[in-house]
Amino acid sequence: MSQAVEIDIRKGQKFSDAIRDHDVIVAKFKGKLYDLDSTAPEDGVFIPVKLRDEEGLTVLRHSAAHLLAHAVTSLYKGALPNTGPPTEDGFYYDIKMDPISSDELPKIEKKMKEIASKNLKIERLEYDKDTLVKIFSGNRFKLNIIEEKVPDGSTSTVYRQGDFVDLCTGPHVPSTSYLKAVKLLSLASTNYRGDINGEPLVRIYGTAFPDQKSLNEYLRMREEAMKRDHRKIGQEMDLFIFDSERAPGFPLYTPYGTILRNSLVGYMRELNRENGWSEVYTPHIFRDSMWKKSGHYAKYRESMYTFQMDDGTGYAIKPMNCPGHVTIFEREQHSFRDLPVRYSEPGTVYRYEKSGEVGGLTRPRMFTIDDGHAFVREDQIVSEVTAILGMIQKTFTDLFGKADLTYELSVIDKDDLDNYLITYRCSRCQTEIESRKTSQDHLICPNCGSTDLKPDLDRWDAATSALRNALQSQGVDFKEFEGEAAFYGPKIDVHLRDALGRSWQLSTVQVDFNLPLNFDLTYIDSGGERKHVVMIHRAIYGSYERIMAILLEHYAGKLPTWLSPIQVYITPVSDRFLPYTEKVHEKLLASGIRSFLDYSKETVNKKIRMNRKKRPSYIVIIGEKEVANSSVSVRNRRGDVKAMALDEFINMLRAEISHKRVEQPEFQ
């Protein structure tokens, strides 16, 4: 982060003439980035942007993308660059070319470095549309961009470095010599414009940094992330398996994994109880009539597991828990005094994710949501959502020690109301209907047949501002995303940043007007009138699978002791000390501590080596001294060893577990 120094500049003066610092690569003038080589459009002050600044880094990577396209087009005849933007931590370029294998990345990278070392000037050139069309006549992708983005009679810019020219609005670093630390990372394929039917393109991912040192640091982090892959750690710790032949995409939890899972379930059960959420239990299968009524069949049938019995009745396995909770809610009439009614359940759902989409615990075909549905009055939305946000903050503070959360509020796009469920009012007879119209449909008033129906967004507005109020009352920062709302209502998504700086989407809080209408869920208000409830869907972990994956990657498997499947791994130095070891083990078990005794007759070294990958919280070794002193020799996760009295060890563990401590006490 460099200081926001400001430099005076006069109209027509080149930015480069006003600065000396070689690290400055672009100028920010009135909020817009300019190449150093360009001139100020008017008098004013500009901020010099350095390589290391966030915006500078983006520019650097964008330039690196050009360098990549430059190298590829010079190596592969007929390769047609499409687009190559910077990304959060690097860049990519989509190129039409024959498929290549990742073995060729080093070759391309070498070419990039070769071009960079030529210290080519990167020039910005402005041309009219006709000239642009001539320049890119051989590249139909660029011609499409010109056709769409450059109006007739206007101009746009290209950037040239040596013999390579790319259509681009820039800005870029002044010369290729800035691109010293570039690295190609992976190869993927994509379709033109992200359209499934679009032409297949080769996408090459890479990254760039101001210097080799920070690039190396990034690569180390990347490697660390790879080592922390929950699929790998989960196998090492023996937590779950996937049997890709028998159940592709379905996790099976082993005994250790089930301990972890149950710890998380137990935590949520307690949190729910403390916050007035009743636990319920619902079937995994419902008749198809249920899914027709809920609307799931209409929208999600192809990703549901459906089947038919011999007598012809149709069923489906649940892809969501809401209908079950709704069914329980419906069993009795509700007064306005009863609300909110809150049902929660670790609800296992099954969704047929398409073959290319499944992967590990983050995208399985079976997962268990820490699901909750609150049935509330409209005036209760704010307080209910506020309470849920509090539960979210508590949960992640407990799980991660310090929760680095970001909030997103997804709201309706009022310029594009198609596909949202909204109230329409007939202009002629004032009849109100609830509908989700698509662009093909046109609505007709069921009462008078008029087609003049006006959307009424009052309820959406009220719900959205309720969510906004709840967020503000919690004093958290949030961003709003227009058009990201669910079709049935606005929602809040919560993201967590992990130890490696990666952001994961976890919690979600959604306001739903749809299901209460589909199922006609009502309460009797104080005036004796029937009103529709509002449903609030909430998941805090998101799913048990996902939170487990995140915990494993965040902690590199070294889970806080309260969550750790093996809290104590205990083994004697030799069989002679087994009786005392068993006594210690039993006392630990009696104290509620998950102790696992290793009877194998191996050397201590070997036993530790064999069991370390299971990440026990503590390793306890019992030998002659321990037997003599009624003590234990304890090794913690960091590898520090300490001898202590058995009771001292048990007290330490109990405190650590009951306070859900993330760190272990230090051994002096």
Partner RNA sequence: GCCACUGUGGCUUAGUUGGUAGAGCGGCUGAUUCGUAAUCAGCAGGUCGGGGGUUCGAAACCCUCCAGUGGCUCCA
Binding site for RNA (CB under 7 A): 99, 101-102, 186-191, 194, 196, 200, 203, 231, 235, 242, 244-245, 248-249, 296, 299-300, 303-304, 319-320, 351, 353-360, 363, 486, 510, 537, 573-576, 600-606, 608-610, 612, 619, 621-626, 633, 635, 639, 641, 643
Q: 605 or 668: whose CB is closer to RNA?
A: 605
- Residue 464 CA to residue 410 CA, distance in Å, equals 9
Q: 100 or 116: whose CB is closer to RNA?
A: 100
Q: 200 or 283: whose CB is closer to RNA?
A: 200
Two tokens at 276? 């007035």
In angstroms, give the least distance from the CB of 154 to RNA: 28
Q: 220 or 454: whose CB is closer to RNA?
A: 220
What contacts 517, CB < 8 A, 6 or more positions away? 421, 434, 532
In angstroms, give the least distance from the CB of 248 to RNA: 4
- Residue 265 CA to residue 118 CA, distance in Å, equals 60
In angstroms, give the least distance from the CB of 635 to RNA: 4
| Cα 582 off chain centre by | 45
In angstroms, give the least distance from the CB of 83 to RNA: 12
Which strands form 91-96's sheet, in the order they lie side by side? Answer: 80-81, 91-96, 200-209, 181-191
Q: 462 or 608: whose CB is closer to RNA?
A: 608
Are 240 and 254 in contact by the 8 Å Cβ rule? The answer is: yes
Cis peptide upstream of residue 490 (ω within 30 degrees of 0) = no
Q: 102 or 212: whose CB is closer to RNA?
A: 102
What contacts 114, CB < 8 A, 6 or more positions away? 71
Q: 252 or 641: whose CB is closer to RNA?
A: 641
- Residue 376 CA to residue 332 CA, distance in Å, equals 15
Q: 15 or 580: whose CB is closer to RNA?
A: 580
In angstroms, give the least distance from the CB of 326 to RNA: 13
In angstroms, give the least distance from the CB of 61 to RNA: 16
In angstroms, give the least distance from the CB of 174 to RNA: 30
Residue 348: exposed, middle, or buried by beta-carbon count in 10 A (0-12, 13-18, 19+)? middle
In angstroms, give the least distance from the CB of 137 to RNA: 27
- Residue 407 CA to residue 385 CA, distance in Å, equals 13
Q: 238 or 434: whose CB is closer to RNA?
A: 238
- Dihedral sign from CA coordinates of 610, 612, 615, 621: positive
- Residue 360 CA to residue 436 CA, distance in Å, equals 35
In angstroms, give the least distance from the CB of 107 to RNA: 15
Q: 199 or 525: whose CB is closer to RNA?
A: 199
DSSP 453-495: EEEE-HHHHHHHHHHHHHHHHTT--EEEEET-SBTTB-EEEEE
Two tokens at 67? 């360098």
Two tokens at 157? 């810019």
In angstroms, give the least distance from the CB of 205 to RNA: 7
CA-closest candidate to residue 482, choices 425, 433, 415: 415
Two tokens at 533? 């409830």
In angstroms, give the least distance from the CB of 515 to RNA: 9
Torsion of CA 348, 350, 351, 353, to 10 degrees: 100
Q: 23 or 408: whose CB is closer to RNA?
A: 408
